[in-house]
Chain A
């Protein structure tokens, strides 16, 4: 009996017990689709994390953050100055391995108003013009402020696209693209003239979705009235957390920030010269560690030897991403594989029941010339056919499952089905089918024909 015949017999046998076979397959179907779904989710996470990593600047960017003073220096706490412009100038002068230094003074609780509309800015930052390059911003309309704006502490700002959307209306609200350059908005009660706007930062997926939405006729219910808040978890407007933060940016010159907000801050009018963050760009990624060490040495001088700062490198982040992805993949894979194994046990169970039911048939087949191998192959193929059908159906259902996942997962983590995952899941399901069929096939094939024929 050749394999082709065995497959036909296998299909017939499965067709003869449709419901039983379907239940048996269900284990494999769920196992395969959960394996693929899991891998799609992890792949989506990976893509989202990598895109976000690129959006905040490449690996050569290092951020200087405040850190708690170490235990052995606690007694010097009142001499710790924090990050100031002294650090910036020192790094510029004394650290040749550092290519660029960008100071940032950030102000929280910054609300922008225009007419009756208000918007709470996430990232209200006074900085240098080189922040444009440091933070990978792209100006769409107008210009970035320059050194003269900074020296004169002019009340100018460059805004992110979310600020424009909320104060002037988004493309979807207005039906056209609004250019806010030249308008004056109030931030914390201070008038600022908009001289530029950044382009919209978004993940590949939301970009595609937005472009598709443009082709649709405008929704009449949205053409009028104010834009409503969608809550913090809204998936429509921002398109991902990192992108949302980046789009919700307002840059003003550092000196403007200092003069207008920081020079007399708080209720007791004490100036606050500390920088919120200080970003540096390493000249050569191949000398990354040396550059960090150099910056560290310089900063130890300006900080009076008190280690109240730390370097946040994107490399750490990239490593963290890789590690996290690996962990997700392994743990999710193990769980899904257990699911598949359970499906395989289901197959074995039903095959054992099936051969017990068919002892007489096996006896007849042996009496008329079926050899050990013939019977073995027949039973094995039957189990493999169940696994193959289950695997194929599982591949199909996994598409639905992944679509379902994409509704509940964050926008920039869109699950992605990879061909590798499909092939792996399918091969795995076939292997499970073979393994599950081995014992029943062996049991059936070694039946004594005389005993089997007598079996009632």
Chain B
């Protein structure tokens, strides 16, 4: 059984009497342990897809099964709980809370899941160790570099041991070297068994993932062959793996 099953999912917005089909009859399976990328130009509906699968939004029609449970009709409260327990988000702008220290930022999801303070601390340190930032735990987000901030955000996404991690343009705000390091980290995490979905408009970044899902005009176009897309070797899977 696959981890995520989308069946005929549509999302329709009404803007000034005009109907916009952000997602149009999408069916998709994602298996546990997969490293995929969702790729498409801006406005294609890839963000909407991520929001719906990530339980930030509900579909207009269709059904979604996440880890065996149907979520399309879940209440806001259940969705919040699912986001907390089963889904991790990594954003383009890192989205760390500037007033909290790195450690407190990583602890935050566990605060909402109601873990006791000692356990939170222990798990947060573990997650920071995983991204190699355990010695920065007392710093504020503003005191560390962009790449480090993104690694903190990844630690935060992983700390509740989610079923799937969504990364929305995780390298979009970093220079190419930092971006490469982040992609390496994702690759490493995927080899450790985490399910990771990269959302990006950039085929070069999508090239690092074994499976690519291309969205165009709210529909799944095809699985993209990186060679056909004219991708250079910069971010190729082999190169990343070789490091």
Contact = CB atoms under 8 A, between A and B. Distances in A.
B112 A369 contact: yes
B79 to A, nearest CB: 8
Given A370-B112, A372-B76, A450-B56, A364 B95 contact: yes
Interface residues of B, number: 24
Nearest to B108: A368
Interface string A355-382: 0000011011111111111100000000
A2 interface: yes
Interface in B65-124: 76-77, 80-81, 83-85, 89, 91, 95-97, 99, 108-109, 111-114
A301 interface: no
A368 B51 contact: no
24 contacts: A1-B112, A1-B114, A360-B95, A364-B96, A365-B108, A366-B83, A367-B89, A368-B84, A368-B89, A368-B108, A369-B80, A369-B83, A369-B109, A370-B84, A371-B76, A371-B80, A371-B81, A371-B112, A372-B77, A372-B80, A373-B77, A374-B112, A450-B56, A453-B95
Q: Is the interface of B mostly helix, strand, loop or mixed?
A: helix
B57 interface: yes
A239 interface: no
B14 to A, nearest CB: 16
A233 B193 CA distance: 89
A419 interface: no
Interface in B182-234: none
B165 to A, nearest CB: 12
Contacts of B80: 366, 369-372, 374
A260 B57 CA distance: 105
A116 interface: no
A2 B114 contact: yes
Nearest to B57: A450
Contacts, number: 59
Give 8 nearest A-B pairs by CB, closest first: A369-B84, A371-B80, A369-B112, A368-B109, A364-B95, A369-B83, A371-B77, A449-B56
A16 B113 contact: no
Find the residue from A2, A368, A371 having the highest chain B CB count within 10 A. A368
B156 interface: yes
Nearest to B99: A16
Contact of A5 (B83, B111, B156): B111
A12 interface: yes
